[in-house]
Amino acid sequence: MWGRMASRMASCGRLAIGPGGRVVSAASLRRALELRGVAVWTDSRELTSGDLLPPAVQAAIKNAPHFVVLLSPNARGSKWVMKEVRYALEVRKKRTDGYKVIPILLDGFELTELELWFPEEPVAERIGGVFSTSGDT
């Protein structure tokens, strides 16, 4: 399922992935990208209890060549995911190297909702299917 998208993203080198709610699909995407040689930063693998989340996430977003956010029904009400997207959009404004904020829409998140998250409509990937919420990221 992630192969086509992972192949397109594999040239990025390294990505920061915003969770958009704890879904197994984040882990699936991470594994598919890593199998293609892309280093992926995810908070669940890089941080430990007691770490301050906002500075670590912001550093990862700022230092990555691109930011991928998984937008799901869980993300819709998350102030943290919205903050991460806004920060990534700020980073994009300042960078001149082709930095992209890449939204991936999961089932239950509609294309029309992007206007609440992005000032200009981005090209988004739609991923369908059933996803677990087990927290495997």
Per-residue pLDDT tens over the stretch 81-130:
999 999 999 999 999 999 999 998 888 888 899 999 999 989 888 876 44
Task: Give me 25's structure tokens.
Answer: 């699909």
pLDDT above 90: residue 38: no
Domain boundaries, the chain: 3-127
List helix spans (H) across 41-130: 43-46, 53-63, 73-76, 79-94, 114-117
Give the per-residue pLDDT at 128. 64
Considering the chain, what is the average pLDDT of its residues? 77
Fold of 3-127: Rossmann fold (3.40.50)
Determine contact, residues 100/85, Cβ cutoff 8 Å: no
Determine contact, residues 68/26, Cβ cutoff 8 Å: no
